Amino acid sequence: MNIIPQPTTGSLRAIEISAIDVPSNHRKPDPDWVATLRDDMTIHGQHTPIQVVEFGDRFHLIKGLRRMLAVEQLGLLHIDAFVETQAEFSTKAALQLRQISAQFMRRELSVLDRAVNVSAWRSIYETTAGLIRPGRKAIRGKFAPNSEEALDENAELFAGTFSDAAQRALGLNKDAVKRYLRIAKIDAPVIDRIALHGIADNQSELLALAAETADRQAAIADLLLSQPASASSVAGAIYIIDGKPPKVALAPWETFSERFTNLKEPDQERFFEVHKAAIERWRAKRSN
């Protein structure tokens, strides 16, 4: 299934900036980039038109928010745009995918940007393909939509819609999709607040943040974004909030050791019998 809409025809026009609507899930623009574009446009003008879709007397932005803001900062009322019509899109999902894919193909997207877009992309795919039914509980062995099993299954299905080349180029294999979907669960207001912070391009930090509740995510963001910053990492913020170091995940052998200690003596002896070769190998190394 090809989930990326193919390019359509359109027309190049000058349109009013005030008539352009920006999608709520559009990546947050870096103000420094906007200022740089503005200064360049002061000398060279607008090199590349933005892309929009026309809806009556309004326009839906597909690509070019930084350019649009730069032109707006110059005090201009109109901007050159490549305009497509609503009729050129068969469904609302097709329109959303055009906007998502336009952002996703940009290599400078942060980890957070990619996570938000992958989540939206997958939601559209699952809705149109009928893979999940939001709000339904597990029935007859099916997974609840928000369960770990559902996340695993749907990530695999979604990643499988891309060619091998696309998976390599976009980094969208099953494991990557799962990580992005976890990160995209960060509370929306927090995502907006940290979009331009260094954490936005740190996958480990984002995953740690996503593991917290919405209230704690907001508190962590407060500490990371304070001036001067009260914390330089999610772990550091958690330490300040809780007054103690965050719990460190146990290594596999430590987890097993805890479970083994709780076994009854006959079960421990059975374990020794099953793993006799490994135990004798360990003893031989110790005696050398």
Determine the Cα–Cα distance for residues 193 and 222; give it in Å rounded to an integer. 9
This prediction has a pTM of 0.54
93-107, 129-143, 186-200: lowest mean pLDDT where? 129-143
Which domains, and CATH codes, for the chain?
11-97 (3.90.1530.10), 109-185 (no CATH), 187-248 (no CATH), 252-287 (no CATH)
CB-based contacts of 197, cutoff 8 Å, min separation 6? 224, 225
Across 82-101, average pLDDT: 67
Q: Decide: 86 and 54 in contact? Cβ < 8 Å.
A: yes
pLDDT tens digits along 136-192: 444 344 555 556 666 666 666 666 665 565 566 556 677 888 888 889 899 999 999
Using the Cα atoms of residue 161, residue 165, residue 170 and residue 171 in order, give the sign of their dihedral.
positive
Residue 212 pLDDT exceeds 50 = yes
State the DSSP H helix or E strand holding residue 174, giving kind and residue range, or none if neither.
helix 174-183
SS3 of the chain: helix, strand, coil, percent, to 5? 55, 10, 35
Instruction: Give the pLDDT confidence score for residue 186 in this predicted structure.
Output: 94
